[in-house]
Amino acid sequence: MPITTQDREILRLAVPAFGALVAEPLFLLADYAIVGHGLGTTAVGALGVAGTVLATVVNLCVFLAYGTTASVARLTGAGEHARAMRSGVDGLWLAIGIGLAVIVAGWPLAPAVVGLFGAAPDQAGQAVVYLRISLLGVPGMLVVLAGTGVLRGLQNTLAPLVVAIGSFALNAALNAWFVLGLDWGIAGSAWGTVAAQTAGAAVYLVIVVRGARARDVSLRPDWAGIGRAGTAGFALLVRTVCLRVVLVVATVVATRMGRPELAAYAIATQVWTLLAFALDAIAIAGQAITGRALGAGDVAATRAATKRMVRWGLWSGVVLGALVLVARPWVPGLFAADPQVTAELLAVLWPVALFQPICGIVFVLDGVLIGAGDQRYLAWAGVWTTLAYLPAALLASGWGIVALWCALGVWMVARLITLVRRAAGTAWLVTGA
């Protein structure tokens, strides 16, 4: 497949997006390393509980990035640069509002939420401390999501990469200083993350404010615009909830199978997540390119770019699947898996690898339709594909971890069918601003 100008544009957007996607999970990994070294196992467990809660909040709010990318890209393609920045400002206000609401609701509920995990009293106490302090950083986290969406919509994925790397470095330095140097305990880890996330948010605010002033766009809240952003975001929220339901059900099923199966499933999920970052980077390029092309009214370019990105997704999936099969014999050793876990893991890595080409197409088309603003269809498709998955997951509960992963494959095939059928039609090809 020769490299074309279109390919170069896809890579220009996708490669930095991949770097930013990989940088984000490093925040929590740095916390784990420093807390484990300085505070011990109990604190690591507490961090795991609180980190899961925070990750869920952020994952549910990812629509702030996706929805803003689509709207800003479309308006930019239509030449409506002032309206594009206005849409970006609305997205930031929505992020701030949701972030403040999370603080107000989360602070008193923190002990009850932590209690749902059944942690030991000493772990639960530290988890509540970490969670309550970290809630103060949620507005910053959500502003980062919305700000990332603005820049992606403006066809700029390099700046988010730079901000992500800088935030990660600051987070690691502050955590080491507060926990190991000042001996603040787990609270120090939380304050370091809050400071790093808030600093990253400040950078995005500066960039967007400068862009808005350059186009004479008001920075005051536009309640109608914020409402439109929230309406579009609700459909993407439904889609995200469906994704989380699938993963939670799979975890529950794996847990009931036994310790070796759960451990193998957890490791396989981490492998799958790493592969998903690479494929999602192409999807992010799809969001930006599709929104801009449709905003410019160029249906032919939209179709051509979609076909090209689907090829990128397919062949990327083939390559990633092959890499998993090549690395398969050594993966258990990376996690010091015992013989039982090793046997289960070696078996389950086969379906993990074989489904990657399907994942590649699904991720790309998902990004294309998000960029087109086809959120309502994606929400309904998410509901139907989740309903297709649930019976397969229940059947898999009596057949082992490979069957469970095949059930996830059923879900991916269902998503493939719904997305390909939609992309083949014309209902999503809505042009203009």
Q: What is the pLDDT of residue 94?
A: 92
- Burial class of residue 187 (count of CB atoms within 10 Å of its CB; 0-12, 13-18, 19+): middle
Lowest mean pLDDT among 14-28, 190-204, 301-315: 14-28
Place of tokens 């393609």: 77
Residues 100-114 have a mean pLDDT of 92
- Which stretch of DSSP H or E encloses residue 383? helix 375-396
Q: Which two tokens stand for residue 420?
A: 């390909």
Tell me 430's DSSP state: -
Q: What is the pLDDT of residue 26?
A: 63
Place of tokens 């893991």: 345
pLDDT in tens, 47-85: 777 877 887 888 888 888 888 888 888 888 888 888 889
- Burial class of residue 300 (count of CB atoms within 10 Å of its CB; 0-12, 13-18, 19+): exposed
Residues 185-200 have a mean pLDDT of 92
Distance of CA 414 to the CA centre of its chain: 21
CA-CA distance, 251 to 257, in Å (whole number)? 10
| Position 16 pLDDT exceeds 90 | no
Q: What is the pLDDT of residue 335?
A: 58
Cα(first)–Cα(last) distance of the chain, in Å?
Answer: 34
Which of 210, 49, 45, 192 shows the shortest CA–CA distance to 114?
49
Residues 165-175 have a mean pLDDT of 89
Coil, strand, or helix at residue 241?
Answer: helix
Give the chain's mean pLDDT: 85
Q: What is the pLDDT of residue 68?
A: 84
Q: In this structure, which amino acid lies at residue 231?
A: T
Q: What is the pLDDT of residue 1?
A: 52
